[in-house]
Every structure is written in structure tokens, then in C-alpha cells.
Structure 1
Amino acid sequence: MGLIEGKSMELKTPYYVIHKEELDSNFKKLKDAMEKHWGNYIVGYSYKTNALPWVIKHFDTLGCYAEVVSEDEYNLAKLIGVQKNSIIYNGPIKTKDTFIEALENGCIVNIDSQREIEWLDEVEKAKRTVGIRINFDIEKMCPGQSQCAEEGGRFGFCYENGELSKVVRKLQEKNVKISGIHLHTSSKSRGLDIYRAIAEMACKVQEEFRFDLAFIDVGGGFFGGLSTKPQFDEYLSLMEDILSKHFNKERTKLIVEPGMAVIGAPISYVTTVVDVKDTEFNRFVVTDGTRTSIDPLMTKSSYFHTYERHSDKERIPKQVICGYTCMEHDRLFTAINEPELSVGDKIIYDKVGAYTMCLTPLFIKYFPDVYVEENDELKIVRNAWKPEQYVMNSMI
């Protein structure tokens, strides 16, 4: 890894910057909230949110477990040196070999499919200890806030239709220890009501099944790094009030699996204006960045952004900021009545660390450089891909 001193040094755009001090400060707020409200806890960093090797290794050094949902992510955690029993293995597409290995290594494994139940027959009896992911009607509990509304979520074993009860009985017949429950649910709001519902469901399940639980896994989906949104302390305080009525803090760990909450805010994407053109309809400002690098699914309507202009210019009624791709809808935003942008000016997009690097397509250009900023110095932690990296492992 090379070191580039001084942020003023000209770097080749586009590139990402991980602001380490902001990342660490935000993560400390999460840990402080966990310590305050449930001292017996585990933070599992969500690999799917951003699995850049520097990022996942850094969260490992901060004491996080690796929260993984596939064979590839499981093996990546091992490759970067995560301790063999510091992995949380979730999701419905585990492979049989890694499922068995994870249990034998003492990992936290939350089952999410019928085939995993059958695989338990091939696990040493003493190692048959699992968590169960629970599917429940979050839309009914939080109207208008769930992602799937009347269609319902597809992960876990359904509480309402009795599927969870069947799975519990089947596991008990196999002498499998149920050590935890996993209640992560996706929401549109990321609001406090979602976590109130999760905590209430955990208590409801405990009342019915009387488990001897080593952990409650509430998943992720929190806000983080935004002063205008709910803070970690608010989420944890709310869940503490509910969960502590049915669970002993010293006996049962609380697991959180943040992704966006800890990695979304502290990453920026730096681009440069490469051309300006006028048409009958618009002034188009073309940059060497692309919307697909900060909004891969192209669902957002606005982005946090700032400018670095070479000089002050007159205001322009309308400037359409575009990316480098050949897609007409690679338009990032429209600047209304703002100073004129010229070739060489920079546009910096902030809070773009979640679901960007892992979803960015290899379309027209390849992965850009990534730097870590600390003490006003930049250290490169991923070199931009070139054609040599693109054809690697391909047969020509």
C-alpha cells in the first residue's frame, strides 16, 4: 500500500475515500450505546454492505464478528484472518460444507432453510447448536414501514402460520440445541417502531417457547452517521426497556449486525468535470464518475454533494450533472441557479459507503482507486482495476 501525503495532491479521479476518523467515531457511538444498554453483546459487521478487504479487516480489528451470508463471504472472512469462531453465518444459500464447518468451529449459525435442518444429521451431536431466523408480519405491527407490505418477507420460518413451531419440534426431535433467535427484518423507514416490533416479537416467542437463549440477534438496518435521524442510543434504549422484561442481560447476548449504519456515512466519491456542452434543452456537465458507483440500482433522487471549483463563476439557471456511461439516465442531479461548473472542477459525493463498492458494475470502466484518509493523509487500499485484472481467471 502506498502513501500519498497531503490531500491537495492531484489524484486520478474517480476514487473513493474512506474517512477513518469519522468511521471510528461513528463505530464508537454504537459500542458506547451497546455498553450502556446491554453490556453483554456482539457486533457483527455485515459483509454484504461493503466487503472491501480493508473495511472488513478494520472491523475485525475493532472486535466485530463477520456477518456473512454465502460460501464466498464465509471463506473471505477466513482469508482475511477472522477467528474461526467469530463468524455469524446467516442467509438461505449456505453450502453444506461451510454450514457443517461453521457449526464445528463454534460459529453462530442462524438457520434459514429446510435443507439446513437435514444437514444437521451430519453434524457431530455435541456441535448441533443453532439459532433460528424468524419470519413475522412486520407490516401488521408497523403499517407502511415494511419493504414488502402485503407480500411479506421471504426470510426465516414463519411465526404466524405455524411453520416456526414445526421447525422447533423437528429440531428438538434431532436433539438440536436452539441457542438463539434471529429477527432481522427489512424496512423502508429504519425507524424506532421497527425495533420496538422486533423486541416485542422476541419476547412473544420467548413466552411461547421458553427457550434457553444464548443470544437474541436483532440484525441491522439502523440509521447511523446522520444527526437528523434516530441515534444508536435511542435504538438500544428502546430495545433494552422491552427485552429486559423477558431476558437476563448477563445470560443472553444481544447481537446487532450493522452495515450501512457504520460504513455508509464515512465514505466519499470524488469526480472531476471532463466536459461541458449545451444543447437545445440543457447544459450538460459530464464527469468521470458515474451514478452506478454511488447508486447502483439507480433508485435515489438526490445525493449529498459538494464542489471544489477552480474559480468563482456566474450562476447558471440549470446544469445537468452526468456520468461517463453511455446510458442516458446516467444523470446524477440537476444544479439549479448555481455557479457555473467548468472542466477540472470536482464534485464530491458524501455518505456513499453502503451497497456501492459491492454492487458497482464492471460497465465501460472498472473498479476505481480507494483511499483511506487519516490525519490528513491518504493511503491507497485498493488500486483501480485495469484490463489485466478484468481478464484475470478468464479463458481466452
Structure 2
Amino acid sequence: MRLSTPYYLIDEARMLPAMERIRLVQERSGAKCVLALKCFSSWCAFDFMRQYLVGTTSSSLWETRLGHEKFGGETHGYSVAYADDEIAEVAGYCDKIIFNSLGQLNRLGHHAAGISMGLRLNPGIGHSCSELSNPVCQYSRLGVRAEELPEDIGSRIQGAMIHVNCDNDDLASFCSQLDVIEERFGKLLPHLQWLSFGGGIAFTDEAYPIDDFCRRLREFSQRHSLEIYLEPGEAAVTHSTSLVVKVLDVVENEVPTLVVDAGVETHLLDVLTYGYTPEVDGAEPLARDAKDLGGRAGHVYRICGRTCLAGDHFGNYVFPRPVALGDELRFPNVGGYSMVKKNYFNGIRMPAIYHRNLSGELRLVQQPTYEDFREALTNTHLV
């Protein structure tokens, strides 16, 4: 059956390798893994994913509630800043709640009485693909530095979260972080029951040295008598989800440009934010900033979206064959930070979301309508 484009397709069979790696890491390291909902919150897949992850971690009240209601297991609540009128509700959903600053902990911590309370720490060292996503950049507001901690902090919290990675596939880099954490927070660690290393660690990649990773985690856990958590987001859904689009027009200029029925800013926002080129099935990606795209074997195209943004540009690619009007193109690795960031800019059709389970059964889980677009910004009620 040919589905109407554009659409996202979440495929459990393609998600399975990452899930199995997550299971393996938990078994060998003793660490627990919770899904980072900020990256992927399409709960149509939660029945499958809860077989491998022990729960969820969140960045807001609504994510916390979603994890509690739709995933179950452990629910970890975190926010850069909780509002006074939401903290009690957040605490009601959580098994563990993590405050970002001493100010928030001091002012709102009493709402978390009876659940395990944590504080985000900033060790001043991390690994990021971009300064935009660097949690330990200059003037960072994310977490508390060692020199800022009061002497009695170990008696006031049960755990901590240290999230300093983004797209980190370098085990040596992660191990050096552990050394710095031990050096800078050595006095605090004996007072804690649990420690989360956050997300951004690419341990589900096939080339990642998973045995050494597990050994290092287990050694750290045993040395400090800590329960360790990891918060995979991208690592949990890598290669699991496609965005399928159709060519609506071919604009002939210096390089033929394929205009598709989706947009970068609307449907793959991180491509625009971080300036990378997403994979396309059956095509070879070229540099985004290439000045000369001619003189190559094959058929070179720019793929662009149909919004009015001049820079609505997915990337430059070489195809082994000509691409024609009506052809479908497939971006095969868009599970992370795509569906959670999609928006109605230009009012173009929002992609449907399909879900295929391990048995191969395909179901439509969301078909956005004009009414969804219409009501997104104005749905008038008397107050």
C-alpha cells in the first residue's frame, strides 16, 4: 500500500538493534536506562520500548505527566526552572525529581518531600557537537558547579544528574569526564544513592566499544556505591524512523532542485539548527556549503522544502539515477528531535505518523488536519 506523503514511519524492527544494545548495557554495567522524552515522545511505541527501558526522564511538567501516564516504570522529573504553580503536580508524577539550581532547590524542594530528590551538577567538562548544545559553555545556566555547593548539600539530596554530552561517540572522552567528576565532586559522591549521566552518549552505535563502556560504568558504580542511570534519547531511536516525502517540482538552475512536500524548519528542524545533511536512502550526501556541485558521476540534486524560507534546504545529494516528479524520497534516520519539534509554519500539511510493530502490522497513529492547524493558535474560551 502506498501511503500519502508526507509521513513519519516509526518501525519497531529498525528500533530493535538499539533496544537490544540498551538491554545489554544494563545487564553488563548494572546501570538503568530511562528514555529522554525531549528527544522522542511518540507514545505509540512505548509498549515496545518499556520492555527495554525502566522508565522516562523529562524536561517539563507535560513530559513528566506523559511519561507517568503512558510509559510507567520510573518517572524522573527535571526542568531548567519549575514554575510555582506546577511544581506540586510534577512531584506528584515523579519517583525522582531533579532541580537545576540551588535557588530552585531551596525555594521549591519542600514540594518534593517523600520522593527522591536530586540536583543537576556542572563539572565544567563535556563533549558537544555544537556550542549551541554545549551544557558546560561559558555562562552556562545548566547545573551547579562544585565550588558553589554548600557544605550540607549531601544531607539534602539523594542523587544528582550530570548531563554534559551531545553526540559523544568517544569513550575516552566519557572516561575523562568520570575522572573529573570524581575529582570535583568526590566529597559529595559518598552521600548520594544515585547518579545520572544524562544522554548524548552514542553507546548504541555498532562501533562503540560497549564492553569497555560497561566495565567503566560498573567500576564507577561499585567504587562509589551508586545506582547509575543513563538517559538515551537519540541513542534509543537511532535509525528507527523515516520521513517520507514526494517530489512536487524540479526547479532547473545551476543545480537541479527537488522541491518536496515537507519543510526543514517545519519537519526536520535540527537540520536547520545545526546545519547538517540528513541521510537519504539511495543517495550520497554532499557538503552543504559546496561551491561547485558539478563534474561528479551520477545525478546531483539539491533537496529543498516548500516553505517560503529561502534556506529551506535539506541538503545536496548524488543519486545513481534521475529523480522525477512524483518520486518518493526517504530520510531514514529522523527519530530524534523531529516529531517533538514539528510545527505549522506556513500552514503546510503536517506529516502523518505511522507505526509498524515487530509483526509488521502498520497503523496510522496521527493524521493532522486543517482543524488542528486552525486551533493551534486560537481556540477561544471565555475567561
Q: TM-score range by the shorter chain?
A: 0.7 to 0.9
Q: Which residue of structure 2 lines up, in the alignment, with residue 301 of structure 1?
A: 276
Q: Cα offset for 1:151?
A: 1.4
Q: Cα offset for 1:94?
A: 2.4
Q: Which residue of structure 2 lines up, in the alignment, with residue 237 of structure 1?
A: 215
Q: Deviations over 1:98-142 (max 9, x none)?
A: 534555666111221212322234554xx2641221111105xx7
1:247 and 2:221 are equivalent in the alignment:
no
Quick check: 2:77–2:94 contact (8 Å CA) kept in 1? no
Q: Which residue of structure 1 lines up, in the alignment, with residue 331 of structure 2?
A: 349
CA gap of 1:206–1:367, structure 2 versus 1, over 3 A, is same
Quick check: 2:189–2:224 contact (8 Å CA) kept in 1? no
What one-letter code is carried by the residue in structure 2 that aligns with 1:163? Answer: E
**38, 43, 46: which one aligns with 1:53:** 43
2:111 and 2:35 mapped to 1: Cα distance? Answer: 29
2:344 and 2:9 mapped to 1: Cα distance? Answer: 19
Unaligned runs of 5+ in 1: 1-8, 309-314
1:156 and 2:130 are equivalent in the alignment:
no
Q: Which residue of structure 2 lines up, in the alignment, with residue 200 of structure 1?
A: 179
2:189 and 2:136 mapped to 1: Cα distance? Answer: 30
% identity of equivalent residues: 17
1:345 and 1:144 mapped to 2: Cα distance? Answer: 33
Q: Which residue of structure 2 lines up, in the alignment, with residue 5 of structure 1?
A: none
CA gap of 1:356–1:234, structure 2 versus 1, over 3 A, is farther
Quick check: 1:180–1:213 contact (8 Å CA) kept in 2? yes
**161, 164, 186: which one aligns with 1:182:** 161
What one-letter code is carried by the residue in structure 2 that aligns with 1:115? Answer: Q
What one-letter code is carried by the residue in structure 1 that aligns with 2:263? Answer: T
Q: Which residue of structure 1 lines up, in the alignment, with residue 258 of structure 2?
A: 285
Instruction: Report the more deviating stretch, 55-64 or 207-216.
Output: 55-64
Q: Cα offset for 1:26?
A: 1.4
1:389 and 1:111 mapped to 2: Cα distance? Answer: 34
Q: Which has the higher strand share?
A: 1
Q: Which residue of structure 2 lines up, in the alignment, with residue 380 of structure 1?
A: 364
CA gap of 1:57–1:392, structure 2 versus 1, over 3 A, is farther
Q: Cα offset for 1:237?
A: 2.7
Q: Computing the radius of gyration over CA atoms, which structure comes out larger, 1 or 2?
A: 1
Quick check: 1:30–1:233 contact (8 Å CA) kept in 2? no
**9, 14, 17: which one aligns with 2:9:** 17
Q: Which residue of structure 1 lines up, in the alignment, with residue 288 of structure 2?
A: none
1:355 and 1:66 mapped to 2: Cα distance? Answer: 16
Q: Cα offset for 1:225?
A: 5.0
Q: Which residue of structure 2 lines up, in the alignment, with residue 311 of structure 1?
A: none
TM-score between both structures, scaled by the size of structure 2: 0.82
SS in 1 for 2:158: strand
Quick check: 1:224–1:265 contact (8 Å CA) kept in 2? no
**29, 33, 36: which one aligns with 1:43:** 33
SS in 2 for 1:339: coil
Quick check: 1:184–1:219 contact (8 Å CA) kept in 2? yes
1:58 and 1:338 mapped to 2: Cα distance? Answer: 37
Matches within 5 A, 1:1-396: 9-38=1-30, 41-56=31-46, 58-60=48-50, 62-80=52-70, 82=72, 86-96=74-84, 98-103=86-91, 107-113=95-101, 114-121=103-110, 124=113, 127=114, 129-138=116-125, 147=134, 151=138, 153-159=140-146, 162-164=147-149, 166=150, 168-169=151-152, 172=155, 176=156, 178-187=157-166, 189-204=168-183, 207-209=186-188, 211-223=190-202, 226-228=205-207, 230-244=208-222, 246-248=223-225, 252-279=226-253, 281-292=254-265, 293-296=267-270, 298=272, 299-307=274-282, 317-336=299-318, 338-364=320-346, 365-374=348-357, 375-383=359-367, 385-392=368-375, 394-395=378-379
Q: Cα offset for 1:366?
A: 4.0
Quick check: 1:199–1:239 contact (8 Å CA) kept in 2? no
CA gap of 1:145–1:238, structure 2 versus 1, over 3 A, is farther
Q: Cα offset for 1:357?
A: 0.8
2:325 and 2:229 mapped to 1: Cα distance? Answer: 49
What one-letter code is carried by the residue in structure 1 that aligns with 2:213? Answer: Y
Quick check: 2:61–2:90 contact (8 Å CA) kept in 1? no
Instruction: Report the more deviating stretch, 94-103 or 343-352.
Output: 94-103
Q: Deviations over 1:40-99 (max 9, x none)?
A: x3221101001123144543454431201111212223443635xx21111222234553
What one-letter code is carried by the residue in structure 1 that aligns with 2:371? Answer: E
